Amino acid sequence: MPSQVRQGSEAPRTFRVLVVDDSASIRRRVVQKLETMSFHITEASSGEEALGLTLEQTFDLVVSDIEMGAITGVQLCRVFRGDPGMADIAFVLLTAAKEAKTRFWGRNAGADVYLAKEDMDEKLLPAIEKLMEGRSPRDTIRPELTGTPLERVSAVLEHHLFDVVVQSEVRRLMDHVHDRIGFGEKVLELAAEVVGCPYLVLQLLGPGGPTYSIRARGPWPEDNPTAGLAALAIPEQNLGAAHTTIEPDPKFGTGQHVVGGRSHTCEIRVRDEKLGALQVFGGSNVCAETDIRSVELIADALGVVVKSLFLVEETQLLALTDGLTGLYNRRHASKRLEEEIARARRNNSGLCVAMCDVDHFKAINDEFGHSAGDRVLQQIATSLTEYVRRNDIVSRWGGEEFLVIFSEIKLTAARIVAERLRGRLASTPQVDGGPEKISVSIGLAMLRPGVTAHTLIEQADQALYRAKARGRNRVEVAGEERRNKPSAIIEKQDNGKPKQETGKPKQADTK
């Protein structure tokens, strides 16, 4: 059936409305209602005819039936929403269907208004008045649209199918939310398949962040990788938290030039919470619009997945850390010590441990209260964390004891660090409501051939007890010659409890 044009008003800049329905009687009812609003009205009896009309003229509003022939109202709406030349056209879907599935499909088709036909007499005009409020008529010049209706439907379906597949692949990344590094690699592996930019960067915040995963397919300065990271806008203080995968691809050029280039950044969010960002750099080229759209699509789909990663990390941290100080707990520190010992032996590198104990801590609790004692522990934990190197491990071993694992270090250097650490803690500002001065005693032990983690801790513990016996606020090293050995040095029995070497009564406070 050829289209029909009804003139409700020939005034310039009138809203142009397309009414689509395979029922002539329903079209007539809709047109009669719209004529009262002085619209310029065009009728179409099918989705195919409606798409053909869009090649000849432009519209401001489409009112369409949901169930028609080859091209349904839902498909028609999807074509309009997926075509940049028509995406801003207001769209109303009408249905007489009673099936829940059909109504669900209609409500989620992307239409601005969805109405049951039995409510049309009462609700159609008020809904359209509200929908068109604040809008201006579109330019009447025919938009630059090409292709047959079938080709345009196919293009939009292809567009939406791509979106669905990418979002599905992002959801599959849930299998990797137990490992931040592995997760970052998988995200960028997916992004590299659909984004044609040479440099991809994933920034993650949350409990384990900030960290960066980088996939470089363009030129990369192998002799100075930090220069490459800086060119990708990674802050200097976070360079150590960047994991880089380099995959040279000749199509992005060779040599060491043009790292970075113009970039596009998409935040990863859940509601108002920023979780990170996905960023692409074009190198010597500009990122194409299709690449930018793919990045936006991935970043949008990543929100829920990244939030799941952070929840897993938070749960893991609760199991690994001490609630008061935020440091690793004893159980996790023991595990890390075993790992560090194995690594030190593989790499033939040094390793030392320091057992730090707050002097007179029982007296602090007795005089100032346990809240002040807690603040003392928190302050020491903060000072330890700030002072040690990035790759050293600090933990709360128990009570007022802290264990520091110094990796890749010799005993002489470890002793210097321990002495400086002791001096720093002794000079920390007074804790609010606590003692004027705080000091720690430190026992230091070095990993030697055949020594187990348990023995290493025992050696550091013995050195700590000597530091206590020799006046506190000092560092003692396991295995050193004991000079001026006092008569009351505290040693350990086989059961692990302290004993007096001379048999003198033990003082009430050995801490």
* Pair of tokens at residue 117: 């036909």
Q: In CATH, which superfamily holds the domain spanning 4-143?
A: Response regulator (3.40.50.2300)
Predicted confidence at residue 82, as pLDDT, reads 77
| Burial class of residue 23 (count of CB atoms within 10 Å of its CB; 0-12, 13-18, 19+) | middle
Q: Does domain 168-319 have CATH number 3.30.450?
A: yes
pTM for the full predicted model: 0.61
Query: For residues 260 and 246, what is the distance between their CA atoms, to the nearest angstrom?
Result: 14
Residue with tokens 């530091």: 467
Predicted confidence at residue 257, as pLDDT, reads 61
Closest residue by Cα to residue 419 from 435, 430, 406, 407: 406
SS3 477: strand
SS3 146: coil
Query: For residues 251 and 228, what is the distance between their CA atoms, to the nearest angstrom?
Result: 19
φ/ψ bin of 508: left (φ > 0), alpha (ψ from -120 to 50), beta (otherwise): alpha
How many other C-beta atoms are found inside a 10 Å radius of the C-beta of residue 175? 10
Predicted confidence at residue 411, as pLDDT, reads 93
What is the DSSP-derived secondary structure letter of residue 507?
A: P
Closest residue by Cα to residue 328 from 281, 280, 289, 385: 385
Query: For residues 466 and 474, what is the distance between their CA atoms, to the nearest angstrom?
Result: 9
SS3 177: coil
Please state at what angle helix 180-194 crosses helix 149-171, rounded to 10 degrees. Answer: 160
What is the DSSP-derived secondary structure letter of residue 328?
A: B
Q: Where do the structural domains in the chain lie, given as residue ranges? A: 4-143, 168-319, 330-500
Residue with tokens 């009430």: 508
Burial letters 123-155, b for 16+ CB under 10 A, else e: ebeebbeeebeeeebbeeeebeeeeebeebbee
Predicted confidence at residue 482, as pLDDT, reads 52
Closest residue by Cα to residue 220 from 249, 241, 195: 249
Backbone angles phi, psi at 121, to 5 degrees: -60, -35
The tens place of each residue's pLDDT in the chain, 511 residues long, gives 445 545 544 445 789 999 999 999 999 999 999 998 889 999 999 988 998 888 778 899 999 998 888 888 888 888 888 777 788 899 999 988 766 776 677 777 788 888 888 888 889 999 999 999 988 888 765 555 566 666 766 777 777 778 888 889 999 999 998 899 999 999 999 999 999 999 999 999 998 889 999 999 998 887 788 888 999 989 888 888 899 999 988 888 776 566 888 999 999 999 999 999 999 999 888 888 889 999 999 999 999 999 999 999 988 888 888 989 989 999 999 999 999 999 999 999 999 999 999 999 999 999 999 999 999 999 999 989 988 888 899 999 999 999 999 999 999 999 999 999 899 888 877 778 888 888 999 999 999 999 999 999 999 999 999 999 999 999 999 987 455 454 444 444 334 444 444 333 333 344 5
Judge if the upstream peptide bond of residue 126 is cis by omega within 30 degrees of 0. no
Tell me, letter by letter, the H, E, C secondary structure of 223-254.
Answer: CCHHHHHHHCCCCHHHHHHEEEEECCCHHHCC
Predicted confidence at residue 158, as pLDDT, reads 75
Query: For residues 376 and 393, what is the distance between their CA atoms, to the nearest angstrom?
Result: 20
CATH number of 330-500: 3.30.70.270
